[in-house]
Structure 1
Amino acid sequence: MPPSTDPAARVGILTPSGMLGAGFTPESIERGLTLQPDVIAVDGGSTDSGPHYLGAGVAKTTAAAVGRDLRILLKAAATADIPLIVGSCGTSGTDSGVDWVAGIAEQIMAEEGLDLKIARIYSEQEATFLKDELDAGRIHPLAPHGPLDPETLESCTHIVGMMGHEPFVDAINAGAQVVLAGRATDTALAAAVPLMLGMPAGPTWHASKIVECGGQCTTDPRAGGVFATVDQQGFTIEPLDPANACTPISVAAHMLYETANPYRMREPAGTLDVTDATYTALDERRVRVEGSRFEPAEQHTVKLEGARVTGYETVSFTGIRDPYIVANIDRWAALLRVILSERVSQTLGLTDDDYGLDIRLYGHNAILEDIDPDSGPPREVGVMLLVNAPSQAAATAIAKVANPLMLHLPLPEMEYLPSFAFATSPAETQRGAAYEFVLNHVVDVDSPTGMFRTQHSREVSHV
């Protein structure tokens, strides 16, 4: 669709929260509808919570939480007769995640008597297809990753491609009223309808970036979602909660979030440039943004995300309050590692190369480690032992060898046997398969929709 030439044209984006299942008040959606939105867009996931959700193909949210939010949004979309778009369904955007959210949505619609056309957009990729693309020289690494080898593709339990806005546009043009998609850029789901309706790319992509996390661009992120209005010159943004506010600083600051460069952000179709953007307070709650630009890319790319099993984990956690141990906690942790390695070798016949273990000292330096500015002794320390081994049985056996050490290990010079406190009984908790991200690469594509498959709830005619 060519850009709109109507200077009065505007497109409203209602973003209820930063993630489906995170929760919001029904009142905020009711107020959002009074602002005349053209689309409701909400993210369904991300990689923020680590590789497990992609590797295992499961969601971090509960069906009850997703269903609660979806019920409100489906009814709102039906009332306003506007599309509802959810991206990265099921947290990581696997095909099973899309089907999981779609199943919840279909059940809700049956209960509420809603008749909405659903499109499912799948983003999972086959290793065989990607190996052909790799052989053709169409896959390239993103820093800090190096060149990709075929074995890495074959080792992944799930691989997804990150779609831009184009598959959403196609689905809506084909008649979909609810679009449930696999992995997508956080901005694409909000940008789709404004771009489809002819809004300029610069303001659209910038607005979509700002609304991606709901209320995070406001002075009170806990207060819910936001509403952006995109027009020919820029966009205006405001919170859905009348007691909340957007300020020039809170809006501009969101360009710092999850970006390597606060002025430029790459999308599959090009790069958003906000170097010359201006942020002006219209009143105590609303901010006006102008001057954003979008540079189309010479080559459209689709980013790949993939995860594979690294082993199986067992975790054990004990608390230490003995003042002498706490004052010498680094030395104690080093001793634990040495003695545990020796005993695992003696009892299980395993070498250090056969397994991995991590000792994390919570209350001391578990988060910042050597760069922690607080050099004073802690009052108490929680010791987490995380064991990774080729099998669950091996990981648990190693943690069990560590059990007496994590209960009573003294330093060599101590003349008494200290006692520590396990957090749970049994002390060892099996975590199952552990995963790691192994793909941070892009595929050069001829079509922005070619790697994605769309399934409609029933045959619909193009509009």
Structure 2
Amino acid sequence: MPPSTEAVARVGILTPSGMLGAGFAPETVERGLTLGPDVIAIDGGSTDSGPHYLGSGVAKTTAAAVSRDLRILLKAAATANIPLIVGSCGTSGTDSGVDWVAGIAEQIMAEEGLDLRIARIYSEQEAGFLKEELDAGRIHPLAPHGPLRPETLDSCTHIVGMMGHEPFVEAIRAGAQVVLAGRATDTALAAAVPLMLGMPAGPSWHAAKIVECGGQCTTNPRAGGVFATVDQNGFTIEPLDADNVCTPTSVAAHMLYETADPYRMREPAGTLDVSDATYTALDERRVRVEGSRFEPAEQYTVKLEGARVTGYETVSFSAIRDPYIVSHIDRWAALLRTVLTERVTQTLGPADDYTLDIRLYGHNAVLEDLDPDSSAPREVGVMLLVNAPSQATATAIAKVANPLMLHLPLPEMEYLPSFAFATSPAETERGAAYEFVLNHVVDVDSATGMFRTHHSREVSHV
């Protein structure tokens, strides 16, 4: 039977880790079950790792890691008779990502003798439908993007809509015991059951934000997940690891994580406001949070994420320890670009549709001109990233660069330097490269209308 939706005094959220497949100690989940959870919620993905995973529809995590974590959580959910919710399955929340995690779950249940009803919530969107919404004036850009063009939608290999909590609630009310969802806000999966069971929106959304990354809100983020207890006046949070600690500072600081404003965070249904929230240590491990508010939006919106192919990449990596070149590394990199461009034209003919990215690791590859450390490095790693319309062209350009990345001297040098390639062959083909091209929202009349739910078997609606 699905959970009762009658008013309750408190709702417990068990979040074992910041991401399915990242790993956690089984004993932390066992301890979490003793605290009386009403839901196990864990994120399955993110855009943090770039557009490749959405563009290609493949997962960042390995099946073995997902299976290991999921086995523990499915058994825990069955033991406690509570829902297990996974959002953004397969890293990016594509339909194939949902089916991939569902296939792993079904195999585990067969092996463990578990009989749990699974709901798959799909979030992929058709370009044709979105072009109709665009024509109707219902799609709007988020800064810094400008107005959306129809051809941008057509160019995407995958487009997902970011769901709020409502599809999770609908699936659980329909009897789902395991909910595997496409792209969702990180907070929606943790807020769903507290909201469904009558907890106030402010504490529910704030607690969901704090638990979203597991132990990130503790003093030892590597020690595992957290447990939040939401009630009518606020929430209490504590680590699952008995030796880990939550402090008012560690909890409050998580509002700085992945938010443009540390006091306000937008969800599809409205905005969480924590400007008046208070954080109080109950003891050496637990923190009490009160004063959070949630402002319902005048218009419910669903954020779109889409990725498209920008070309094909080949990468080469060489290391330089010649002290003279290292001390003039910026001038050397400029010379490499000039000479390589000339030789590409000489050997492959005129070409304007490729790009060269030269990154100097150990010098300024991370911060570039923002790096405050101007001291000379002892060695520099030179990464050449070539993007071209075809893989063959990208690799050909990288091969033209090969002798230059091995022996290119500065003009005034009287000897031929030698550098070191990291691999043999020096050129590694990376395949298709992708870019994010959608940062827009759709005005919707229904919070669940853009998403499709499939149940593993027929259930009785309540």
Bigger drift between 125-134 and 370-379 goes to 370-379
In 1, are the aligned partners of 2:264 and 2:275 still within 8 Å (CA)? yes
% of aligned pairs identical? 90
Secondary structure, counterpart of 1:354 in structure 2: coil
Please list, as runs of the form range in 1=range in 2, the aligned pairs for 1:414-425 lying within 5 A after superposition: 414-425=413-424
Secondary structure, counterpart of 2:124 in structure 1: coil
Secondary structure, counterpart of 1:458 in structure 2: coil
In 2, are the aligned partners of 1:271 and 1:297 still within 8 Å (CA)? yes
Cα deviation 1:244-282 (Å, max 9, x = unaligned): 000000000000000000000000000000000000000
Give 1:365 shift. 0.2
Give 1:178 shift. 0.1
> Root-mean-square deviation (CA), in Å?
1.7
Secondary structure, counterpart of 1:146 in structure 2: coil
In 1, are the aligned partners of 2:2 and 2:177 still within 8 Å (CA)? no
Structure 1 residues 435 and 128 mapped into 2: Cα distance closer, same or farther (>3 Å)?
A: same
Structure 1 residues 131 and 6 mapped into 2: Cα distance closer, same or farther (>3 Å)?
A: closer
Secondary structure, counterpart of 1:145 in structure 2: coil
Structure 1 residues 5 and 385 mapped into 2: Cα distance closer, same or farther (>3 Å)?
A: closer
Give 1:5 shift. 13
The separation in 1 between residues aligned to 2:345 and 2:276, in whole angstroms, is 62
Structure 1 residues 7 and 390 mapped into 2: Cα distance closer, same or farther (>3 Å)?
A: closer
Give 1:354 shift. 1.9
Q: What residue in structure 2 maps to residue 263 of structure 1?
A: 263
Give 1:338 shift. 0.2
Cα deviation 1:136-171 (Å, max 9, x = unaligned): 000000000000000000000000000000000000
Q: What residue in structure 1 maps to residue 401 of structure 2?
A: 402
The separation in 2 between residues aligned to 1:244 and 1:108, in whole angstroms, is 30
Give 1:181 shift. 0.1
Cα deviation 1:98-144 (Å, max 9, x = unaligned): 00000000000000000000000000000000000000000000000
Give 1:41 shift. 0.1
Structure 1 residues 233 and 383 mapped into 2: Cα distance closer, same or farther (>3 Å)?
A: same
The separation in 2 between residues aligned to 1:35 and 1:4, in whole angstroms, is 19
Give 1:300 shift. 0.2
Give 1:376 shift. 1.0
- Aligned residue pairs total 460
In 2, are the aligned partners of 1:3 and 1:200 still within 8 Å (CA)? no
Structure 1 residues 343 and 396 mapped into 2: Cα distance closer, same or farther (>3 Å)?
A: same
In 2, are the aligned partners of 1:4 and 1:198 still within 8 Å (CA)? no
In 1, are the aligned partners of 2:2 and 2:172 still within 8 Å (CA)? no
Structure 1 residues 162 and 7 mapped into 2: Cα distance closer, same or farther (>3 Å)?
A: closer
The separation in 1 between residues aligned to 2:39 and 2:56, in whole angstroms, is 32
Cα deviation 1:371-408 (Å, max 9, x = unaligned): 11111111000000000000000000000000000000
Structure 1 residues 274 and 5 mapped into 2: Cα distance closer, same or farther (>3 Å)?
A: farther
TM-score by length of 1: 0.98
Structure 1 residues 426 and 4 mapped into 2: Cα distance closer, same or farther (>3 Å)?
A: closer
The separation in 1 between residues aligned to 2:421 and 2:261, in whole angstroms, is 44
In 2, are the aligned partners of 1:315 and 1:431 still within 8 Å (CA)? yes
Give 1:3 shift. 16
Give 1:225 shift. 0.1
Secondary structure, counterpart of 2:227 in structure 1: strand
Structure 1 residues 375 and 441 mapped into 2: Cα distance closer, same or farther (>3 Å)?
A: same
Cα deviation 1:281-310 (Å, max 9, x = unaligned): 000000000000000001000000000000
Secondary structure, counterpart of 1:414 in structure 2: coil
Matched, 1:280 2:286: no
The separation in 2 between residues aligned to 1:281 and 1:371, in whole angstroms, is 38
Secondary structure, counterpart of 2:121 in structure 1: strand
In 2, are the aligned partners of 1:19 and 1:42 still within 8 Å (CA)? yes
The separation in 2 between residues aligned to 1:48 and 1:368, in whole angstroms, is 18
In 2, are the aligned partners of 1:3 and 1:199 still within 8 Å (CA)? no
The separation in 1 between residues aligned to 2:329 and 2:103, in whole angstroms, is 51
Structure 1 residues 59 and 7 mapped into 2: Cα distance closer, same or farther (>3 Å)?
A: closer
Structure 1 residues 4 and 111 mapped into 2: Cα distance closer, same or farther (>3 Å)?
A: closer
Structure 1 residues 325 and 13 mapped into 2: Cα distance closer, same or farther (>3 Å)?
A: same
The separation in 2 between residues aligned to 1:307 and 1:296, in whole angstroms, is 30
The separation in 2 between residues aligned to 1:220 and 1:70, in whole angstroms, is 23
Structure 1 residues 334 and 281 mapped into 2: Cα distance closer, same or farther (>3 Å)?
A: same
Cα deviation 1:69-119 (Å, max 9, x = unaligned): 000000000000000000000000000000000000000000000000000
In 2, are the aligned partners of 1:3 and 1:198 still within 8 Å (CA)? no
In 2, are the aligned partners of 1:313 and 1:433 still within 8 Å (CA)? yes
Matched, 1:360 2:359: yes
The separation in 1 between residues aligned to 2:216 and 2:5, in whole angstroms, is 32
Give 1:57 shift. 0.1
Structure 1 residues 5 and 76 mapped into 2: Cα distance closer, same or farther (>3 Å)?
A: closer
In 2, are the aligned partners of 1:2 and 1:198 still within 8 Å (CA)? no
In 1, are the aligned partners of 2:326 and 2:378 still within 8 Å (CA)? yes
Give 1:229 shift. 0.1
TM-score by length of 2: 0.98
- Runs of 4 or more, structure 1, over 6 Å off, are 1-8
Question: What stretches of structure 2 of length at least 5 have no aligned partner?
Answer: none
Give 1:8 shift. 7.0
The separation in 2 between residues aligned to 1:210 and 1:292, in whole angstroms, is 12
Matched, 1:312 2:312: yes
The separation in 1 between residues aligned to 2:356 and 2:457, in whole angstroms, is 51
Structure 1 residues 6 and 183 mapped into 2: Cα distance closer, same or farther (>3 Å)?
A: closer
The separation in 1 between residues aligned to 2:301 and 2:131, in whole angstroms, is 16
Secondary structure, counterpart of 1:68 in structure 2: helix
The separation in 2 between residues aligned to 1:80 and 1:295, in whole angstroms, is 33
